[in-house]
Amino acid sequence: MRYDSITEAIGNTPLVRIDPAVHGLRNIDLYAKLELLNPFGSVKDRAAWNMARPHLATAAEEGGQVVELSSGNTAKALAVLAGMHGLTFKSVTNRMRIPEIKDLLLLLGAQIEELPGQSECLDPTATDDPLTLFHRALSEPDSSYLHTDQYFNPRNTEAHFTGTGPEIVKDLDGRAPDWFIACVGTAGSSTGVARALREHDPAVRVAGLVAAKSDFIPGIRTIDEAHEVGLFDPGTYDSIDAVTSDEAIEGMLALNRRCGILAGPTGGAAFFGAVRQLRAVDAELTERQSAVFIVCDRVESYLSYVRQRRPDLFGRPRRRNSPADLTPAEISAAPAIGVADAQAWIATGAPLVVDLRSPHAYAALHIDGSVNIVDELFAELLHGGLPFSRNRPVLLACPVGEKSARHAALLTRMGHPDVRSLTGGIIAWRDAGAPLVRD
Give, as ranges, the residues between 419 and 438 that touch other proteins (CB under 8 A). Answer: 426-427, 430, 438
Rule CB under 8 A: say whether 118 interacts with other proteins.
yes
- Which part of the chain contacts other proteins (CB under 8 A), choosing from 80-88, 119-127, 295-303, 409-417? 119-127
- List 130, 166, 387, 393, residue binding other proteins (CB under 8 A): 130
- List 57, 84, 131, 437, residue binding other proteins (CB under 8 A): 131
Query: Least distance in Å: CB of 55 to other proteins?
Result: 23
Rule CB under 8 A: say whether 213 interacts with other proteins.
yes
The closest alpha carbon to 268, from 24, 36, 26, 29, belongs to 36
Rule CB under 8 A: say whether 224 interacts with other proteins.
yes
Count of alpha carbons within 13 angstroms of residue 252, beta-carbon side: 28
Please provide residue 33's backbone torsions phi and psi, each rounded to the nearest 5 degrees: -90, 110
Could you give the string, one character per residue 81-100, with x where binding to other proteins holds by CB under 8 A and - elsewhere? Answer: --------------xx----
Say which residues have a Cβ less than 8 Å from residue 439's Cβ, sequence separation at least 6. Answer: 363, 366
Could you give the string, one character per residue 345-374, with x where binding to other proteins holds by CB under 8 A and - elsewhere? Answer: ------------xxxxx--xx--------x
Q: Could you tell me how many residues of this chain bind other proteins (CB under 8 A)?
A: 48
User: How many Å apart are CA 91 and CA 84, to the nearest integer?
Assistant: 17
Rule CB under 8 A: say whether 172 interacts with other proteins.
no
- List 285, 400, 414, 434, residue binding other proteins (CB under 8 A): 400
Rule CB under 8 A: say whether 318 interacts with other proteins.
no
> Order of strands across the sheet with 28-34?
15-17, 28-34, 289-295, 179-183, 205-211, 239-243
Query: Least distance in Å: CB of 114 to other proteins?
Result: 5
Complex with other proteins: residue 285 or 365, whichever CB lies closer: 365
> Which spans of this chain sit near other proteins (rule: CB under 8 A)?
95-96, 102, 106, 111-122, 124, 126, 129-132, 213-214, 223-224, 227-230, 232-233, 357-361, 364-365, 374, 398-400, 402, 426-427, 430, 438
